[in-house]
Structure 1
Amino acid sequence: MAGKVIAVTVNPSIDKTIAIKELVPYGLNRVMESRLDPGGKGINVARVLHSFETDVVVTGFVAGNTGKQLLDFLSEAQLPADCLEIPGETRTNLKVFDRKAGKTTEINESGAEVSPENLEKFQEKFRNLCKNADVAVVSGSLPPGVPKDFYAQCITAAKVENVKTILDADGEALAEGLKSIPYAVKPNIHELEALLGRELKTPKDVLTAAREFIAKGIAIVIVSMGPDGALVADADEAYKVDSWDIEVKSATGAGDSMVGSLAYSIVHGDSLYDIAKITTAAGTITASKPGTQICTKPEVLDSLHFVTVTKIEE
């Protein structure tokens, strides 16, 4: 089916977001507001793609009663899911939003352990899904039992079916995944600095780093830099992208919104300039929303004119 995206979420969660007046460590904190949402980077990506009217399927591991609750959430959100059920319990992540500071404290569980047998079952499922897809997004943390080169394996399998992959991970999962040369990669500035073992002080430093990946065969590199915007590059051109002023209410899902809109743009064959605009607008809109709420297509399209895109002359 043309235009279909696979959102791989091997370590999904139920996210409980609570808002408090002011965080008091080791003291009593009274909840002012709370909500439950399906969590995991790939699920956030799928939510964005659903809003962008793009055919998407969520796949990964679910476990126990929390896993069943997660699948119910996905069904209610009209997000198709083809997940592998395993023993254990899908994790619950707690996000504590301090209204006075405007910042969120995250407390994340590690997730259910995956056996070698279930790893192989999933890879077979993923290979079958790739037969009817154009793009696969592999993102997020890896649960216990999943090897660090798991995303690298997914990227290699996707290439057999000519599926373009987007990698969004950190640490060893990112380093190993890059070895299989995904189509696109979206690290944030801190993940990129940790990967390279050096500080990137200027946009030129970031572009030099991006060029290293492009030279190895990666088509698109997007580096998100928080309030400093983003850098978007391919083999032919590069852009420094700046968003507009917003009140940041939650950074949760902002990077995933960039990845989801990137997948949308790849499916539709957008230019790098358009990719720079839409991904930055998507991330900015999501950052302006509380909890785990994400951008919608109308909001993003209405905000494109606020994004400043500057071509970097090399």
Structure 2
Amino acid sequence: MRIMASATFPLPTRARPIVTLTVNPALDISTSTAQVIKDHKMRCGPSRIDPGGGGVNVARTIQSLGGDALAIYAAGGLTGATYRQLLEAENVPSVVVPIDGTTRESFTVDEGGSGEQFRFVLQGPEFSEAEWRSCLAALEAAIVPGGYVVASGSLPPGVPTNFYAQVARLAHQRGARSIIDTSGDALAAALAEGVYLVKPSLRELSELVGRELSTEQAEVDAAAELVARGSAQLVALTLGDQGAVLASAAGVIRLPVPHVQVQSAVGAGDAFLGAFVWRLSQGRDPEAAFRSAVCAGSATAAKPATEMCAIAEVEALEKLLPEATRY
């Protein structure tokens, strides 16, 4: 299996480098219509296409904030070729792992009348064992001791459930810190291996600890439990408009989200993670990185489609955040 580095953009070099891995990227198509009506042909407004997917969006965020990250991703078919062109146009350094299948698409429709957003995410292409192993090989070649490895997004058909656990193991073996952002059995397997940072939603955290989390204290206790278990050194629980919680060996803190006019939730969680790891790579402490992450998620939610936030927007929102609540 050939692995292609971008011929246009050099791989980034930095003291604490960041590498992201996306095995199931998606070409994000966004548009709008006045009203979504069953069985009707709905005329749409202007459309926009972005290169999406967890790890790629993390790298795009870091790029937008003024940092560097190497994005490793699998791509194939005509959709994959378009995807690569779009990412290169954003000057994101990348390594492409070719696959026989066609890169998937996702489709987002904003309903003008109600302000609701409808998201349709297609299943990814079937991977052969050789293809997913090539993704791991590309990652292993790119890991730098002391750096960060961010593996994010869903797993396409054919990729084993323990894939992200293998990613975490590779990072540990190479002296790097692993950040995993996925869900279900793949997330549970990665946490059984042990990771540096994990970013579950409330539903995902509830599944991990095996109980309903119906109070603020229950949320705090569950996040702290993952740290106590050794599943993750940092647990960033994202709660949408209810803010976010950060648990570590130093304790648990909570931040609200700054108020913004939300345009699109697509990519907001990835922006949160991108800002978090970028600040960590700069030597910021986890609490300072967490503040930037909360603001980056909000700033991205205020953008259309899958457009990522800018550093000035993040810094402006940081000035509005109160001190964290400590537990």
Give me the TM-score of the superposition, normalised by structure 1: 0.95
1:171-229 deviation digits (Å, cap 9, x = unpaired): 11111111111100001112212333322122211111111111133211100101110
Superposed displacement of residue 52, structure 1: 2.1
1:234 alignment partner AA: S
Q: Which residue does the alignment assign to 1:167? A: 180
1:3 and 2:16 aligned: yes
Q: Which residue does the alignment assign to 2:251? A: 237
1:298 and 2:312 aligned: yes
Superposed displacement of residue 132, structure 1: 6.3
| 1:276/1:125 CA distance change after superposition, 3 Å | closer
Superposed displacement of residue 99, structure 1: 2.1
* Mapped partners of 1:180, 1:5: distance in 2: 20
Residue of 278, 282, 289 corresponding to 1:264: 278
Superposition pairs for residues 1-314 of structure 1, below 5 Å? 1=13, 2-131=15-144, 134-217=147-230, 218-313=232-327
Give the aligned CA root-mean-square deviation in angstroms: 1.4
| 1:121/1:245 CA distance change after superposition, 3 Å | closer
| 1:181/1:76 CA distance change after superposition, 3 Å | same
* Mapped partners of 1:182, 1:165: distance in 2: 5
1:246 alignment partner AA: V
Bigger shift: residues 121-130 or 180-189: 121-130
| 1:277/1:140 CA distance change after superposition, 3 Å | same
* Mapped partners of 2:55, 2:152: distance in 1: 6
2:206 alignment partner AA: E
Superposed displacement of residue 129, structure 1: 0.7
Following TM superposition, the consecutive aligned residue runs of length 4 or more in structure 1 with deviations greater than 6 angstroms are none
2:131 alignment partner AA: N
Superposed displacement of residue 133, structure 1: 6.6
1:259 alignment partner AA: L
Runs of 5+ in structure 2 lacking a partner? 1-12
Superposed displacement of residue 60, structure 1: 2.2
Give me the TM-score of the superposition, normalised by structure 2: 0.92
1:36 alignment partner AA: I
Aligned residue for 2:31, secondary structure, equals: strand
Aligned residue for 1:79, secondary structure, equals: coil
1:78-132 deviation digits (Å, cap 9, x = unpaired): 0111121010211111111112222221112211211111222222211111136
1:84 alignment partner AA: V
* Mapped partners of 2:112, 2:209: distance in 1: 35
Aligned residue for 2:47, secondary structure, equals: strand
1:141-186 deviation digits (Å, cap 9, x = unpaired): 1111101110010010011111111111111111111111110000
CA contact (8 A) 1:4 1:54 kept: no
* Mapped partners of 1:139, 1:197: distance in 2: 23
Bigger shift: residues 135-144 or 193-202: 193-202
CA contact (8 A) 1:3 1:55 kept: no
Runs of 5+ in structure 1 lacking a partner? none
Superposed displacement of residue 3, structure 1: 2.5
* Mapped partners of 1:209, 1:105: distance in 2: 31
1:118 alignment partner AA: E
Aligned-pair identity (%): 31
* Mapped partners of 2:180, 2:322: distance in 1: 25
* Mapped partners of 1:244, 1:302: distance in 2: 10
Bigger shift: residues 1-10 or 61-70: 1-10
1:204 alignment partner AA: Q
Superposed displacement of residue 36, structure 1: 0.6
CA contact (8 A) 1:243 1:306 kept: no
Aligned residue for 1:28, secondary structure, equals: coil
